Amino acid sequence: MMEEKKKLTTASGIPVANNEDSMTVGPRGPILLQDFHLHEKMAHFNRERIPERVVHAKGSGAYGTLTITNDITQYSRAKVFSEVGKQTPLFLRFSTVGGEKGSADTERDPRGFAIKFYTEDGNWDLVGNNTPVFFVKDPKKFGDFIHTQKRNPQTNLKSATMMWDFWSLNPESLHQVLILMSDRGTPDGYRHMHGFSSHTFSFINKENERVWTKFHIKTEQGIKNFTNDEATRIKGEDPDYAQRDLFGAIERGDFPRWKMYVQIMTEEQAKIFRWNPFDLTKTWPQGKYPLIEVGVIELNKNPDNYFAEVEQAAFAPAHVIDGISYSPDKMLQGRILSYPDAHRYRLGVNYEQIPVNRCPFMVSNYQRDGYMRVDGNSGSAPNYFPNSFDNIYEDESYKEPAWNLENDIADWYNRNAPGEDDHYTQPGDLFRLMTPEAKKNTISNIVGAMSGIDGPKKDEIINRQLCHWFRADVQLGMGVAQGLGLNMETLSEHLPR
């Protein structure tokens, strides 16, 4: 049966008589201003590109489900976890962090791992990466860090000097830099990597008791990474490799799956933990805080339209639901503000009315007007609260327990003060856990990356970063120094005292 024919129309529904020829005065004359359809086509084309994300500009996404496989209701009252077997629909977007929208998705870079769960208590966004830590632990550092990953303001080129200058001046970055320089920095697509909340969040149960938690999302496809040479080759052959791999797998029914786990730390345990449990550059040892299974994530439906569903998808760590809440993690606190603000700039103040972002359950509030309001703007209903005309109410059963703040002195506290300045133990332990081949590849990747440092501060930057590698692990420092061609006399200056 043939599909019914449809008239071509303008955006306002007016039928179009000619979609290929402009109206002119004679066959070779000037175009008439009254050819409105020409103006509409050109004006819309000029505006097809919305501002790309400042970070995570290139990404891929798909729909799927979270199926609960283990009872964690002792920790959280969130309805998404309410019973074993419960399924919650979701949308998951993967991304590279530093590149532009047209960059290669096999670049050495962390990968974004952002999930929107469409729950009956509202949309829950778990916005993480494929690494359990990050480069900085205070949001005031974020913009400066990202500038070093983008382009030099003079040359408009990527700059190894900028990157290593920043990292060498911020040893808190070392843990994440080591992961980035390992083969984990070039994963084989998106299906073969883990995801992490990275941040510490909190769970609240029915008794209003709070515990701290971290999320781990482990691939069931098995970890697969590219070597630096493989990633470089594929970058030239197929810069859209990860996008093609994910879309193709789902299209042929090879649905990728991940298991979700949580780590739990009580408030009492947090007070005596060796490190600050809310420090984004640190992990919690799994031997002491074991992984607890939660459920299985499966991606099983590709978007119908990339722009509408992937490019316009907007995730924010601010979006938590009853039973899941925040922590004093400084970077998380900063992201609570900055992510929704970025979406309002990029997509408009009503970005949550876009279908991929819209809560599929009831939404009631007094937000009105603004660009691209498409839901009827609540009609004739009042736009203020309280009022005498509607029955919208505040539900106090959703109230969270109060936080017990242990300090009442407001100040600009040094993020790396004594007790907060161990930047070397965890990266050193990670390097020592690597296989000999992984160590070799990591050192080779570091040498290759640091070899791009140039300019009058070259030696200063290299030597400063070399000190950090040595403090993490002497074998690591020696390998990098020798790879950079430094002599033994120079090496001895950087060995830990």
The rounded distance, in Å, linking the Cα atoms of 222 and 157 is 35
d(CA 186, CA 106): 6
Take residue 333 and report the two structure tokens written for it.
């606190």
- 3-state helix, strand, coil split of the chain in percent (to 5) is 35, 15, 50
- How is residue 307 annotated by DSSP? I
Bridge partners (DSSP) listed for residue 69:
none
Tell me which of 19, 39, 46, 56 is the catalytic residue: 56
Contact, 202 vs 210, CB < 8 A?
yes
Determine the longest span between alpha carbons in the chain, in angstroms.
86
The residue behind tokens 């630096």 is 228
Q: Is 312 helix (H, G, I), strand (E, B) or coil?
A: coil
Tell me how far apart the terminal alpha carbons of the chain are, to the nearest angstrom.
Answer: 81
Q: Are 261 and 297 in contact (CB under 8 A)?
A: no
Q: Take residue 211 and report the two structure tokens written for it.
A: 């515990």
Instruction: List b or e across 200-218, with b for residues whose CB sees 16 or more CB atoms inside 10 angstroms.
Output: bbbbbbeeeebbbbbbbbb
Q: How far is CA 287 from CA 290, 293, 425, in A?
A: 6, 15, 16
Other CB atoms closer than 10 Å to residue 254's CB: what's the count?
A: 10
- How far is it, in rounded angstroms, from Cα 205 to Cα 300? 31
Q: Which contiguous run of DSSP H or E holds residue 310?
A: none
Any idea which residue has 């029914």 for tokens?
A: 253
Q: Could you tell me how far CA 379 lies from the centroid of its own chain?
A: 36
Q: Which amino acid is at 382?
A: P
Would you call 295 exposed, middle or buried from its count of C-beta atoms within 10 A (0-12, 13-18, 19+)?
buried
Which two tokens mark 300? 């099983």
Q: Are 477 and 495 in contact (CB under 8 A)?
A: yes
Query: What is the CB neighbour count within 10 angstroms for residue 369?
Result: 9
Q: Which residue among 123, 129, 302, 357 is the active-site one? A: 129
The answer to whether 194 is a known catalytic residue is: no
Question: CA-to-CA distance for 435 and 438, rounded, in angstroms?
Answer: 5
Number of C-beta neighbours around residue 266 at 10 A: 12
As a residue count, the chain comes to 497
In 293-386, alpha helices (H): 306, 330-347
Q: Quick check: is 56 catalytic?
A: yes
Q: Hunting for tokens 């009872």 — which residue is that? A: 71
Report d(CA 333, CA 323) in Å as an integer. 18
Active site positions, annotated: 56, 129
